[in-house]
Structure 1
Amino acid sequence: MLTAFKSVAKQAHYLSLIGIFLSPTIVYALPAGVEQITSVEGVTEYRLKNGLKVLFAPDASRPNTTVNMTYLVGSRHENYGQTGMAHLLEHMLFRGTPSMPNALGEFSKRGLAANGTTSLDRTNYYATFAANPETLNWYLDWQADVMVNASIAKADLDAEMTVVRNEMERGENSPFRVLMQTMQSAAYQWHNYGKSTIGARSDVEQVDIEQLRAFYRLYYQPDNAVLIVSGQFDEEQTLAHIAKQFNAIPKPERELPPEYTEEPVQHGSKTVMVRRQGGSPIVAAQYHIPAEADPQFTPLSLGISALGDTPSGLLYKNLVEKNLATSVFSYAAGLRQPGYALFLAELKDDMDPQQALTTLNQTIEEQNQALSQEDLDRIRNQWLNGWSQTYADPASLAAALSESAATGDWRLFFWARDQVESVQLDQVKTALKTWLVADNRTNGIYEPTSALARAPKANTPNVAALLSDYKGKTHQNLADAFDPSPNNIDHSTQREIIELDDQLGIVRVALLPKPTRGDRVHANLAIRFGDPDSLKGSRTIGSATASLLAHGTKKYSRQQIEDRFTELQASVFFSGGPNGVNVDIETVGNNLAPTLDLVLEILREANFPESELNKYKAQRLTQINNAKAEPSALANLTLSRHLNPWPKDDIRYTPTFEESAQYVQSLSQADLLAFHERFYGAGDIRFSATGSFDSETIKQQLKKGLKGWKRAPDYKRAADPYHAVKAEHFTINTPDKANAFYIETLPLKLQDSEPDFVPLYLANYLLGQSETSRLWNRVRVSEGLSYDVRSRLQVSSYEPSASWTIYAIHAPENSAKLQAVIQEELATVLKEGFSEQEVQEGIHALLRYRQLARSNDAVLTSTWQSYLDLERTFAWSAHIDEALQKLTAKEVNAVVKKYLQPTAFSSALGADQSKQ
Structure 2
Amino acid sequence: MSVSRVSRLIPPFRNLLLCFAVLALGWAAQPALAQPVSAAAQAASDELPPGIQRMYAMGGVTEYRLENGLRVLLAPDAAQPNVTVNMTYLVGSRHENYGETGMAHLLEHMLFRGTPSLQDALAEFSRRGLRANGSTNEDRTNYYASFAADPTTLDWYLRWQADVMVNALIAREDLDAEMTVVRNEMEQSENSPFSILMQKLRAVAYQWHNYGKSTIGARSDVENVDIANLRDFYKLHYQPDNAVLIVTGDFDAAQALSTIHAAFASIPKPERHLPPEYTLEPVQDGERQISLHRAGGSPIIAALYRVPEAASPAYVPVELGVAILGDEPAGLLYRKLVETGLASDVFSFAAGKHQPGYALLGAVLTDTMDAAKTRDALRELLDTLSPEDFTQADLDRVRRQWLTGWDKVQANPAALASNLSEYSAMGDWRLYFLQRDLVEQATLEDVRTQTLAYLVPDNRTLGTYLPTEKPKRAPSAPQTDVNALLKDYAGREQSAAVAAFDASPANIEAQTQRKTLTLPNGPVQLALLPKPTRGQLVQASLLMQFGDVESLKETSAVADAVSALLLHGSKRLSRQEIEDRVTALQAQVSISATPGQVQVMLSTISENLPDLITLVTEILAEPSFPEPELERYKRQVSTGNANARAEPASVASRALARHDNPWPKGDVRYTPTFDEELAGYTALKTADLHRFHQRFYGAGKLAFAAVGEFDPEAVTAALEAGIKTWPEAPAFTPIPNPLRAVKPVQLTLDTPDKANAFYLTHLPLPVQDTDPDFSALLLANYLLGGSETSRLWQRVRVQDGLSYTVRSDLSASPREPSGAWSMYAIHAPDTSERLKAAFKETLSNALEQGFTDQEVAQGISAMLNYRKLNRTRDAVLAQGWINYLDLGRDFTWSARMDEDLSKLDAGKVNEVLRKYLKPEQISSALASDPGKR
What TM bracket, shorter-length normalisation? over 0.9
Rounded to whole Å, the distance in 2 between the matches of 1:217 and 1:613 is 57
Q: Which runs of 5+ in 2 are unaligned?
A: 23-36
**Retained in 2: the 8 A contact 1:307–1:364?**
no
Q: Is structure 2 residue 62 aligned with structure 1 residue 44?
A: yes
Q: Is structure 2 residue 303 aligned with structure 1 residue 285?
A: yes
Give the aligned residue type for 1:820: A
Q: How many residues end up aligned between the 2 structures?
A: 900
The match for 2:436 among 417, 439, 442 is 417
**Retained in 2: the 8 A contact 1:285–1:441?**
yes
Rounded to whole Å, the distance in 2 between the matches of 1:680 and 1:6 is 27
**Retained in 2: the 8 A contact 1:63–1:130?**
yes
Secondary structure, aligned partner of 2:803: coil
**Retained in 1: the 8 A contact 2:16–2:347?**
no
> What's the offset of the Cα at 1:9?
8.4
1:891 aligned partner: 908
1:63-74 equivalences in 2 (<5 Å): 63-74=81-92
2:355 aligned partner: 337
Rounded to whole Å, the distance in 2 between the matches of 1:75 and 1:117 is 12
Give the aligned residue type for 1:733: D
2:395 aligned partner: 376
Q: Is structure 2 residue 862 aligned with structure 1 residue 842?
A: no
2:644 aligned partner: 627
Rounded to whole Å, the distance in 2 between the matches of 1:578 and 1:744 is 25
1:129 aligned partner: 147
Q: Is structure 2 residue 714 aligned with structure 1 residue 697?
A: yes
1:113-128 equivalences in 2 (<5 Å): 113-128=131-146
Secondary structure, aligned partner of 1:510: strand
2:512 aligned partner: 493
Rounded to whole Å, the distance in 2 between the matches of 1:39 and 1:190 is 38
Rounded to whole Å, the distance in 2 between the matches of 1:368 and 1:690 is 46
Secondary structure, aligned partner of 2:298: coil
Rounded to whole Å, the distance in 2 between the matches of 1:180 and 1:64 is 36
> What's the offset of the Cα at 1:697?
1.1
1:673 aligned partner: 690
Rounded to whole Å, the distance in 2 between the matches of 1:32 and 1:577 is 59
The match for 1:636 among 653, 656, 661 is 653
Q: 1:674 to 1:179 in 2, by over 3 A?
A: same
The match for 1:140 among 149, 158, 182 is 158
Give the aligned residue type for 1:186: V
**Retained in 2: the 8 A contact 1:69–1:124?**
yes
Q: Is structure 2 residue 770 aligned with structure 1 residue 753?
A: yes
Q: 1:368 to 1:862 in 2, by over 3 A?
A: farther
1:767-806 equivalences in 2 (<5 Å): 767-806=784-823
**Retained in 2: the 8 A contact 1:68–1:399?**
yes
The match for 1:213 among 227, 231, 245 is 231
Rounded to whole Å, the distance in 2 between the matches of 1:319 and 1:723 is 48
1:19-58 equivalences in 2 (<5 Å): 27-58=45-76
1:206-245 equivalences in 2 (<5 Å): 206-245=224-263
Rounded to whole Å, the distance in 2 between the matches of 1:86 and 1:812 is 26
> What's the offset of the Cα at 1:578?
4.2
Kindly provide the CA deviation profile for residues 343-363 of structure 1, in whole angstroms up to 9, marking residues without a partner as x.
121101111111111221222
Q: Is structure 2 residue 598 aligned with structure 1 residue 581?
A: yes
Rounded to whole Å, the distance in 1 between the matches of 2:463 and 2:892 is 56
Q: Is structure 2 residue 426 aligned with structure 1 residue 407?
A: yes
2:623 aligned partner: 606
> What's the offset of the Cα at 1:696?
1.1
> What's the offset of the Cα at 1:28?
2.5
Q: Is structure 2 residue 558 aligned with structure 1 residue 541?
A: yes
Q: Which moved more, 1:354-363 or 1:274-283?
A: 354-363
Q: Which runs of 5+ in 1 are unaligned?
A: 15-22
Secondary structure, aligned partner of 1:473: coil
1:428 aligned partner: 447
Give the aligned residue type for 1:311: P
Q: Which moved more, 1:569-578 or 1:159-168?
A: 569-578
The match for 2:894 among 871, 877, 885 is 877
Give the aligned residue type for 1:82: E
The match for 2:314 among 296, 301, 305 is 296
Secondary structure, aligned partner of 2:143: strand
2:543 aligned partner: 526
Q: Is structure 2 residue 523 aligned with structure 1 residue 482?
A: no
Q: Which moved more, 1:806-815 or 1:865-874?
A: 865-874
Give the aligned residue type for 1:441: R
**Retained in 1: the 8 A contact 2:14–2:328?**
no
The match for 2:372 among 354, 375, 395 is 354
Secondary structure, aligned partner of 2:772: coil
The match for 1:717 among 734, 738, 748 is 734
1:204 aligned partner: 222
> What's the offset of the Cα at 1:368?
4.5
Rounded to whole Å, the distance in 1 between the matches of 2:799 and 2:145 is 24
**In angstroms, what is the RMSD of aligned CA positions?**
1.7
**Retained in 1: the 8 A contact 2:753–2:929?**
yes
> What's the offset of the Cα at 1:865?
0.5
> What's the offset of the Cα at 1:452?
1.4
The match for 1:177 among 195, 203, 208 is 195
Q: Which moved more, 1:849-858 or 1:452-461?
A: 452-461
Give the aligned residue type for 1:367: L
Q: Is structure 2 residue 475 aligned with structure 1 residue 437?
A: no
**Retained in 2: the 8 A contact 1:8–1:386?**
no
> What's the offset of the Cα at 1:10?
6.1
Secondary structure, aligned partner of 1:39: strand
Q: Is structure 2 residue 327 aligned with structure 1 residue 309?
A: yes
Rounded to whole Å, the distance in 2 between the matches of 1:656 and 1:367 is 44
Kindly provide the CA deviation profile for residues 382-438 of structure 1, in whole angstroms up to 9, marking residues without a partner as x.
001001111111110110010000000000001101110011111111112211111
Rounded to whole Å, the distance in 2 between the matches of 1:394 and 1:365 is 42
**Retained in 1: the 8 A contact 2:14–2:347?**
no
1:19 aligned partner: none
> What's the offset of the Cα at 1:444?
6.5
Secondary structure, aligned partner of 1:29: coil
**Retained in 2: the 8 A contact 1:9–1:571?**
no
Secondary structure, aligned partner of 2:98: coil
> What's the offset of the Cα at 1:6?
9.6
2:286 aligned partner: 268
Secondary structure, aligned partner of 1:548: helix
Percent of matched pairs sharing the same residue: 56
